[in-house]
Homo-oligomer: A and B are copies of this chain.
């Protein structure tokens, strides 16, 4: 605990006190909902029926968001910004659904979406004992990891056969303290019903993102089909007629992607020193790159809009987290929590700290992690080759190598259970645009050269590699992308069916590059798997298990992009300037906010809004803040009241909530939703989407 001692010196100068109540904290498992806390704080009794209904009405959207059923006819509600990559795929130069929005006046007009997969969690089983029994104390980390992976694969395969459900997954909770088997129903016939124009779906753009007050209509509707007919949902959420009142208890059911709440103070320090500065430099360089490209013309802007949004969103998010990590107030609290737990464990003699100190194991793993952090990112995570074409070539090379091995010896993503998905991914038709590919690959090769020259590891270990082939980054990118054939799907198919010898003899420069990277990349992967990921997993599992002994079930696990329940209340707050921020804004505010900015981008309300202003009830609430504990991945989650009715749609957190990556606070931190009444008012008065309004009203 090297850094603890340094921190102690530092913290001795800081006034120590607990700034934050943690009343509404937690992203709870549905199997361990905080019934007592809710009963005590709000006098409300959470029932099993309520939980089951909510669970089965909740949807995980593709690979990056949440959603819910909001009618018996399979109508699905999520955020516009969750839908936007699908909108982009459905768009062309002549028909821009991102910019212009979409409304299917009839069922027949609903637009089938490519590559969208929705899943609903149907069954939860605790498999902790089975998983843990597969690992014995005598095993090395590598053996332990292999044994655990093997039993997990087996559990998943058996469950898939037994339940007949489409997707069965073992979820690691509490950093390995618990293992749950989640079985999902899957929907792939998903059609677009309604999306507003981007200018109001992402009203206020980048400057308003993660800010409050807000005035957005960040909503989209899809419909799920089975056998070409609307899916008849047994579980769906009804629409609240009046919305939520100030102070009212509300729930969020969704899929928070990731939190780092239970990291040790040294691990947070690692994130502050190593991880975030590097990632932010990378994000900013890509933001600037795509920003300039976008400014060249409208077509460029359209083609990179969703990637640029993702980058800017991620940059702002991580900037907020890093600000928190640099804030002694918050770090003091984390330090105290960490120290308290450590002392409790020592006092109760729960771990032999002389021989088996998990804090030390974590620090050892982090030392290794720091050494390989940048080369791992550049080579194993392919960040030096930031284009779709390289990723295809890389996956082809790995597919061909891995398929020769028995499943359990392969990299996880190539094991039998995942092999078909990987193959489908490699073959999926992708719109590969040469100019964007060259732009991104040139930049990332340039970044590689910068680090390659500076980073001792890379210099020593990789200098023989000659990845640039004695060309400048730009010339190399052009050479690779003009001459590779993997842009062609039939060529990919042929290569997948071939063997390593054939690949080695191939003249495709992108395949040759991927082959060249393969050896050092494997070494990095092995170091990471064995000396970083597995020791961290084991050490955190060890801490999590004794935390159970100390805290009982009063703790919740870190977010893992699986279904969680959060509770909280509708509540305004006082901002940094001492101003009281009311709990909701109104449609009047949306129009005012646009007018204050001369209706200029990104505050330009679309024509539909300007034309229909007179029909709108301007007092209708549009956005609303609550104390719910949420994070990225919760986008599109329903906000519901005690009767299980929709009162809102989570779409953001304010800037003070960004630190919730590692700590929950509720002084100013708020979850931001589109208000249920605002959604309905816009649908009826602005979009005349009576078909949808009627369906929600049922």
What is A's interface to B at a CB cutoff of 8 Å?
A: 10, 13-14, 205-207, 269, 272-274, 276-277, 280-281, 284-285, 287-288, 291-293, 295-298, 315-316, 322-323, 326-329, 446, 449-450, 453-454, 466, 468, 470-475, 596-598, 600, 602
Chain B residues near A10 (CB, 8 Å)? Answer: 470
Which among B272, B288, B298 is the interface contact of A315 at CB below 8 angstroms?
A: B288
Known: A285-B284, A287-B288. A454 touches B322 (CB 8 A): no
Contact A295 B470 (CB under 8 A): no
Known: A285-B284, A287-B288. A450 touches B295 (CB 8 A): no
Identical chains bound together, number: 2
Chain B residues near A329 (CB, 8 Å)? Answer: 472
CB distance from A277 to the nearest CB of B (A): 4
Contact A472 B323 (CB under 8 A): yes
A-B contact list, 27 entries, CB within 8 Å: A206-B292, A206-B295, A207-B293, A272-B449, A272-B450, A272-B453, A273-B450, A274-B454, A276-B450, A281-B285, A284-B284, A284-B288, A287-B288, A292-B316, A295-B602, A297-B597, A298-B598, A322-B446, A322-B450, A323-B446, A323-B473, A323-B474, A326-B449, A326-B473, A327-B474, A327-B475, A328-B472
Contact B206 A298 (CB under 8 A): no
Give Cα A287–Cα B291 distance, bound, in whole angstroms. 11
Chain B residues near A269 (CB, 8 Å)? Answer: 453
Give Cα A557–Cα B504 distance, bound, in whole angstroms. 51
Give Cα A269–Cα B281 distance, bound, in whole angstroms. 22
Known: A288-B284, A326-B446, A474-B323. A207 touches B295 (CB 8 A): yes
Contact B207 A471 (CB under 8 A): no
The closest CB in chain B to the CB of A285 belongs to B284
CB distance from A321 to the nearest CB of B (A): 12
CB distance from A453 to the nearest CB of B (A): 5
Give Cα A598–Cα B322 distance, bound, in whole angstroms. 40
Give Cα A287–Cα B323 distance, bound, in whole angstroms. 18
The closest CB in chain B to the CB of A6 belongs to B463
The closest CB in chain B to the CB of A284 belongs to B284
Contact B472 A596 (CB under 8 A): no
Contact A450 B327 (CB under 8 A): no
CB distance from A38 to the nearest CB of B (A): 33
Which among B206, B277, B471 is the interface contact of A328 at CB below 8 angstroms?
A: B471
Give Cα A269–Cα B454 distance, bound, in whole angstroms. 11
Give Cα A596–Cα B598 distance, bound, in whole angstroms. 25
Chain B residues near A292 (CB, 8 Å)? Answer: 206-207, 316
Chain B residues near A274 (CB, 8 Å)? Answer: 454
The closest CB in chain B to the CB of A301 belongs to B600
Give Cα A328–Cα B471 distance, bound, in whole angstroms. 6
3 smallest beta-carbon distances between A and B, as pairs: A327-B472, A207-B296, A277-B450
Chain B CB count within 10 A is highest, among A281, A295, A323, A473, for: A295
Contact A454 B273 (CB under 8 A): yes
Chain B CB count within 10 A is highest, among A14, A274, A288, A470, for: A288
Contact A273 B453 (CB under 8 A): yes
Give Cα A468–Cα B329 distance, bound, in whole angstroms. 13
The closest CB in chain B to the CB of A15 belongs to B470
The closest CB in chain B to the CB of A277 belongs to B450
Give Cα A329–Cα B476 distance, bound, in whole angstroms. 12
Which among B13, B284, B470, B474 is the interface contact of A13 at CB below 8 angstroms?
A: B470
Chain B residues near A471 (CB, 8 Å)? Answer: 328
Give Cα A277–Cα B287 distance, bound, in whole angstroms. 16
CB distance from A363 to the nearest CB of B (A): 16
| A272-B449, A322-B450, A323-B472 given; 8 more Cβ-contact pairs under 8 Å | A206-B295, A272-B453, A273-B454, A276-B450, A277-B454, A281-B284, A284-B288, A295-B602
Contact A295 B453 (CB under 8 A): no
Contact A326 B284 (CB under 8 A): no
CB distance from A434 to the nearest CB of B (A): 12
Chain B residues near A296 (CB, 8 Å)? Answer: 207
Chain B residues near A295 (CB, 8 Å)? Answer: 205-207, 602
Give Cα A468–Cα B292 distance, bound, in whole angstroms. 35
Which among B297, B596, B602 is the interface contact of A596 at CB below 8 angstroms?
A: B297
Give Cα A471–Cα B14 distance, bound, in whole angstroms. 9
CB distance from A329 to the nearest CB of B (A): 7
Chain B CB count within 10 A is highest, among A269, A327, A450, A475, for: A450
Chain B residues near A14 (CB, 8 Å)? Answer: 470
Give Cα A274–Cα B455 distance, bound, in whole angstroms. 11
CB distance from A206 to the nearest CB of B (A): 6
Chain B residues near A277 (CB, 8 Å)? Answer: 450, 454
The closest CB in chain B to the CB of A452 belongs to B273
Chain B CB count within 10 A is highest, among A269, A280, A316, for: A280
CB distance from A208 to the nearest CB of B (A): 8
